A and B are shown apart, each in its own frame.
Chain A
Amino acid sequence: MPEYQTHPYDVLIIGAGGAGLRAAVEAAASGVKVGVVCKSLLGKAHTVMAEGGVAAALGNVDDRDNWKVHFSDTMRGGQYLNNWRMAELHAQEAPARVRELEAWGALFDRTTDGKILQRNFGGHRYPRLAHVGDRTGLEMIRTLQDHGIHSGMDVHMECTVLSLVMDSGRVAGAFGYDREKGHFILWPAKAVVLATGGIGRAFKVTSNSWEYTGDGHSLAYRAGAELLDMEFVQFHPTGMVWPMSVRGILVTEGVRGEGGVLRNSEGKRFMFDDIPDLYKAQTADSEEEGWRYTQGDKNARRPPELLTRDHVARCINREVKAGRGSPHGGVFLDIAWIKQHIPKAADHIKRKLPSMYHQFKQLADIDITAVPMEVGPTTHYMMGGVRVDGDTQMSTVPGLFAAGEVAAGLHGANRLGGNSLSDLLVFGKRAGEFAAKFANENPAGAIDDAQIQDTAKTALEPFDRGPAGENPYQIQYELQDNMQELVGIVRLESEMQLALEVVAGLKKRAVRAGIAGHRQYNNGWHTAMDLENLLTISEAITRAALMRKESRGAQFRDDYPEKSADWAKHNIIVRKGDTGEMVVEKRPTTPVRDDLQQIIGEFK
């Protein structure tokens, strides 16, 4: 019988990125006992990678901005499949959440009158992103971390959750292991908040690190929760494409916000060729108007480079496929050209985009103040996830909450840049608040030792098979190739059917994974244990993408290239069926509340 330690909490938070830490701060403030479990060291979660900024209608740079405009921008970006209640709360509460960070020590860049500076970003009508150069995520996670460590939460660093412990349909805690020793740990909890981030590691070219294996999505699914919109995976238009070893690393949209332009091998700004009807009225007619917009001219409209991410990614994909790409299979992103307009442009670029300058200089030997970058799409963000109640963030499983990327609803079919950092603040806070409330109003669930022993036994099996078993890294690589090739930016029925067969084959191999060595900090073992989650969410993405027979937002079907009026009113739910099979359902969206519908009309 495998042994385990026990650490009970009122509220257990899984994940210590922005959403997890904000939830922890909120729950701890209400007086309950809070534990945070994170896969890495504290402060290393992917929030640190967020570059461009946090979207909040502060109106510091353009006083025409307010929550209604932000709300309607978010809905338009999401192609109206969003959970409108979440979009409403998000737009209303983001300004307060950003100001609160300043009270906790965050230092955003300033306007000339000393307020928080805001920058332009794709899909946002006005300059809306509070930022710190291009390292906004680092500033946010450090602020939350440094504030959080004095608020009384316990942090279990480098621990991974393997399963949620259930008590007759409600959550009773979580069970997992610590990386350092490989020991098992039980965290009994009255309420659990999933804040595990995304699924990027299911794809080969991704901006995500090893951690993002869809753990929260898969844990929730296995616990019986409903997943929503799993077909919508965001491919960020600009990742690095060269050298090979850095392929996928993010190049912030802030480059385009500061005036960077996309060109093909013929030197043409191809984004002017294809502007969707939904955005025609808001997009610049000329290069000159686009430039004025990036420099703060309130009468100018945004350049087409700042259209939504799904659209820009597809346009880049099209240029490359048409043979008009850059030498390493991307297109050119040029910020150096602004020297035509700005004196001392090199210094200006280094000040506005310091991490990008550093990243290209160090990893690719390229000086972005002098020459264009080569960029191409990279798997970046999961719009789909755990279906939650917009107000409380509770999933369909009592006591199980989700916030940030692992939760679904706010972004609909496509997320606007900057809306993720604000998402995790607004809904991290709400999840923490309502999880604490749930913990105060409900007794602890019963812990079923059989479930725990079952999980522990399965976890240790790779050691029994030893090095003779399947290599877990190879299974992961094959899955990544499969998803990249067959369920990527452009999707097709026949390819996705094939992808399902590949996933089924890999599932059989994953249960035969073997590993050498012992339990202490064994990366191979960790990789073997992550496989189940990766395979589960890969299947969910593929099945949902197959069902949605239309192209909308992040989902582009070559066999159904148009939007469908019917699918405009439907979400897709993925859940575990009674006999363990994956059930995929088409479900009508809830009609938008009248006053909100009016706002959408007003800011069309």
Chain B
Amino acid sequence: MSNQAMFRIWRGDSSGGALQDYKTPVDEGMVVLDAIHRIQAEQAPDLAVRWNCKAGKCGSCSAEINGMPRLMCMTRLNQLNLDMPVIVEPMHAFPLIRDLVTDVSWNFEVKKTIKPFKPRSPDAADGTWRMQQEDVDRVQEFRKCIECFLCQDVCHVLREHHKHDEFIGPRYFVYAAALEMHPLDVEDRVKDLKDKHNLGYCNITTCCRQVCPESITITENAIIPLKERVVDQFFDPLKRFFRIL
């Protein structure tokens, strides 16, 4: 595979910009982030890119590659058609800082609005708890999340409708689900999910689940069970009847 490939990379900042072409040699096994680094080292030293672990574990290098939200470090060039330019753009759902780097600080603020973990009293005299692996499995799936925010990027409520002030997005429904389904947690976040975080805006198109690099079953395992809890707590006719009584 050792030959040249064309990369069409977004260059610019919040005031504007354009896609620019860079031709660079590519070798066997390279990922998109390698090509970006090569271009940065040889042709465009001030090209802005955010990355860390380069192993799909930290979720820093999120971008849109040929229009698909992906981690640059986990996208191998042999999965792409190199006869065409590879288009690399920043995530669209967040404000642009520069080139491939976006301002994702909103996500960190959103997390603070979700009630933190609150455990039940310890099970044993030494202050420890007992949990079975099968009770932990379900939550461990959610805790695989690397906070790459690709699910937030692809969610139309954020991407198209810009409801960042009213809606917390799939990442934080997964976070809330991890807390709600934690075997030790005793906090109740269901009312917040309904009224404050507007879980109802999600119409389960599963876009978020499809782009998750950790293959977390976001829609089916996190969001739908949370929606069921909301229905159970607030819209169950039988419970409503008893409440009236």
Residue A577 lies at the interface, judged by CB distance under 8 Å to chain B = no
Annotate A107-143 by CB proximity to B: 1 below 8 A, 0 otherwise. 1011001110100000000000000110100110010
Query: Once the chains bind, are A211 and B52 in contact (CB under 8 Å)?
Result: yes
Nearest B residue to A246 via CB reads B29
CB-CB contacts below 8 Å: B37-78 with A: 40-41, 45-60, 74, 76
Instruction: Write the nearest CB–CB distance from B2 to chain A, whole angstroms.
Output: 11
Cβ contact of B97, chosen from A246, A364, A520, cutoff 8 A: A520
B131 at the interface (CB under 8 A from A): yes
Interface string of A82-125 (1 = CB under 8 A from B): 00000000000000000100111101011001110100000000
Chain A residues closer than 8 Å to B53, beta-carbon distance: 44, 46, 48-49, 209
B165 within 8 Å of A (CB atoms): no
Q: What residue in chain A is nearest B59 (Cβ atoms)? A: A44
Q: Are B116 and A146 in contact (CB under 8 A)?
A: yes
Q: Which of A41, A142, A474 contacts B60 (CB 8 A)?
A: A41
Q: Which residue of B lies closest to A358 (CB)?
A: B56
Q: How far does the alpha carbon of A115 sit from the alpha carbon of B54 in the complex, in Å?
A: 34
Selected contact of B57 from candidates A48, A117, A518, CB within 8 Å: A48
Contacts A48-B146, A107-B140, A522-B46 given; does A102 touch B40 at CB 8 Å: no
> Which of B58, B98, B139: most chain A CB closer than 10 A?
B58
Distance in Å: Cβ of A556 to nearest Cβ of chain B: 27
Q: Is the CB–CB distance between A242 and B29 below 8 Å?
A: yes
Q: Do B140 and A246 touch (CB < 8 A)? A: no
User: CA separation between A467 and B43, bound complex, in Å?
Assistant: 11
Q: Is the CB of B57 within 8 A of A138?
A: yes
Q: Judge whether A359 is part of the interface by a CB distance below 8 angstroms.
A: yes
Contact residues in A for B45 (Cβ distance below 8 Å): 467, 471-473, 515-517, 523-524, 527
Which residue of the partner chain, among A113, A114, A523, contacts B40 with CB atoms under 8 Å? A523
Chain A residues with CB under 8 Å of B112's CB are 149-150
Q: Is B105 an interface position by the 8 A CB rule?
A: yes
Which residues of chain B in 88-118 are interfacial with respect to chain A, using CB atoms and an 8 Å cutoff? 97-99, 101, 103-105, 108, 111-112, 116-117
The answer to whether A56 has its CB under 8 Å from any CB of chain B is no
**Complex-state Cα separation, A179 to B127, whole angstroms:** 43
For the complex, is B182 an interface residue (Cβ under 8 Å from A)?
yes
Q: Indicate if the CB atoms of B31 and A524 lie closer than 8 Å.
A: no
Chain B residues within 8 Å of A364, by CB: 29
Using A41-B104, A516-B45 as known contacts, say yes or no to A115 and B40 having CB atoms under 8 A apart: no
> Would you mind naming 30 contact pairs between A and B with Cβ atoms under 8 Å apart?
A40-B52, A41-B50, A41-B60, A41-B104, A44-B60, A105-B116, A105-B179, A107-B139, A110-B132, A132-B140, A135-B144, A139-B143, A142-B143, A146-B117, A157-B105, A209-B51, A243-B28, A249-B55, A359-B56, A363-B31, A473-B41, A474-B41, A477-B41, A516-B45, A518-B46, A520-B98, A523-B40, A523-B47, A523-B49, A524-B46
Asked if B119 is an interface residue, CB under 8 A from chain A, the answer is yes
Knowing that A41-B60, A110-B131, A249-B54 are A-B contacts, what are 12 other residue pairs whose CB atoms are under 8 Å apart, sorted by A's residue number? A41-B108, A44-B59, A48-B146, A105-B116, A105-B182, A107-B139, A110-B133, A157-B108, A209-B52, A244-B27, A244-B28, A364-B29
Q: Does B87 contact A (CB under 8 A)?
A: no
Contacts of B128 in A (CB 8 A): 99, 102, 115
Docked pose: A223 CA to B196 CA in angstroms? 49
The distance in angstroms between the C-alpha atoms of A473 and B43, with both chains bound, is 11
- Across the A-B interface, give the 4 residue pairs with the lowest CB-CB distance, nearest first: A243-B29, A524-B45, A517-B46, A114-B130
- Residues in B neighbouring A516, C-beta threshold 8 A: 45-46
**CB closest residue in chain B, given A111:** B133
A114 to B111, CA, bound (A): 30
Chain A nearest CB, measured from B147 CB (Å): 6
CA distance A155 to B109 in the complex (A): 11
Q: Could you tell me the distance in whole angstroms from the C-beta of A604 to the nearest C-beta in chain B? A: 31
Given contacts A46-B53, A110-B132, A364-B29, contact A521 B58 (CB under 8 A): no
Contact partner of A522 (CB less than 8 A), chosen from B48, B60, B104, B143, is B48
In whole angstroms, what is the CA distance A355 to B58 when docked?
Answer: 12
Q: How far is the CB of A186 from chain B (nearest CB, A)?
A: 21
CA separation between A521 and B47, bound complex, in Å?
A: 8
Known: A243-B29, A363-B74. A44 touches B58 (CB 8 A): yes
Cβ–Cβ contact A150 & B52, under 8 A: no
**Alpha-carbon distance A43/B171, docked complex (angstroms):** 14
Specify which chain B residues have a CB less than 8 angstroms from the CB of A43 in the assembled complex: 58, 147
Instruction: Give bound CA distance, A133 to B54, whole Å.
Output: 20
The answer on a CB contact under 8 Å between B97 and A245 is: no
**Interchain nearest-CB distance for B145 vs A (Å):** 8
Q: Is A579 an interface residue (CB 8 A)?
A: no
Q: What residues of chain A lie closer than 8 Å to B18, measured between beta carbons?
A: none
A99–B126 Cα distance when bound, in Å, is 10
Distance in angstroms between the alpha carbons of A226 and B197 in the assembled complex? 51
- Chain B, residues 129-170, CB within 8 Å of chain A (1/0): the string is 111110010011001101100000000000000000000000
Contact (Cβ within 8 A) B13 A520: yes
Would you call A147 an interface residue if the criterion is a C-beta within 8 Å of the partner chain's C-beta atoms? yes
Q: Which residues of A contact B122 (CB under 8 A)?
A: 103
The docked-state distance in angstroms from the alpha carbon of A364 to that of B28 is 10
Shortest beta-carbon distance from B78 to chain A in Å: 9
Q: How far is the CB of A558 from chain B (nearest CB, A)?
A: 32
A157, A250, A521: which contacts B101 (Cβ < 8 A)? A521
Nearest chain-B residue to A99 (Cβ)?
Answer: B128
Cα A146 to Cα B118 with chains together (Å)? 12
Shortest beta-carbon distance from B113 to chain A in Å: 11
| Residue in A closest to B148 when the chains form the complex, CB atoms | A44
Q: Please encode chain A, from 350 to 388, with 1 for each CB lying within 8 Å of some chain B CB and 0 for all others.
A: 000011001100111000000000000000000000000
Distance of A242 Cα from B29 Cα, bound (Å):
8
Q: A244-B29, A517-B46 are in contact. Are A114 and B131 (CB under 8 A)?
A: yes
Q: Does B6 contact A (CB under 8 A)?
A: no
